[in-house]
Structure formats: C-alpha cells, structure tokens
Structure 1
Amino acid sequence: MIEAAKRQRVDVERISFIDALRWLMHAKPGGELPKLVVNPDRADRVEPRVKKRRPKQYDLMRKPRAELRNNLMSQGVNS
C-alpha cells in the first residue's frame, strides 16, 4: 500500500487495501502500472480498530432448532 501511495503521490490513508491488491494484480511486468483508485480526502476521519461485536446474553445455537425446541418442551419451559 505504501508503494502504491508513493507511485500515485497520495497519502496511504486514501488507498484501500482491496484497491492496492487490485492495482498489484493488474500490473504487468515491465509495463506501465495501472491508475490506482484513490478515495476522496475525508478530513478528521478516524476509524479506531476495536471489536464491534459485544458478548451476548445467550449462548450460540449448537444444535438444530427442532432439537432445542423439543428439549425445552420436555422441561416444561414455554417461551
């Protein structure tokens, strides 16, 4: 990504990872490098790397729904 940004003379923050990969895949050996897609400059844009998912109250469903429903019915739990 840094190399792609240097060749296009833009900040690294304006190049997406996918666009940098596409740029490398379409480059021909010994040929001219293709034009890179550059995102618009979005001032004061900060995207922190954090976990988006929060722990849930319920466990994951690890059995088929019908089996879980039958277990609940046999226990007398009605929802």
Structure 2
Amino acid sequence: MERAIQNPPPGFDELTVNEQIEYVQALWERIAAREDDVPVPEWHRAELDRRLAEYEAAPDAGRSWEEVEADLRASLAMRR
C-alpha cells in the first residue's frame, strides 16, 4: 500500500530558497545512502553500457576533467 505524500511538506514554502535546496539535498543523501534500494531504470543501465563500450573502444578520445575545467574557467574569465 502506497502512502499519500504531502507535497511539499508543511513549512517547506516558508524556507528560503537556499534552505529548500539544503533540505532537498539532505533528503537525497538519505535516499542515496540506501543505494541498493534505489531503482535504476533499464535505459540508464543500457546508456551506461553504451558509454563504457565507447570509452573502451577509444580510451584516449576524450579530455581530462582538468582540461575541461581549465577551458571553462578561461571562458568564464573572458565574460567578466
């Protein structure tokens, strides 16, 4: 039997946006802590398999996070 969930919980709308974000993050952390209980749709699994196969076929095709981050920071610096 499913429970009816009140959306949003009482008092949520009185929180600041930052507090609402913190609340939602805390909820997600509680859910993610039980990772074996979190359902993973089949299409997510298929996409992960596809990406892994793509990486294994050409492991040097991408760029490192450090390279991407440096480009993003340079691009943002030019906008300022």
TM-score (normalised: structure 2): 0.22
* Greater RCO (Cα-Cα under 8 Å, separation 6 or more): 1
Q: Which has the higher helix share?
A: 2
Structure with max Cα Rg: 1
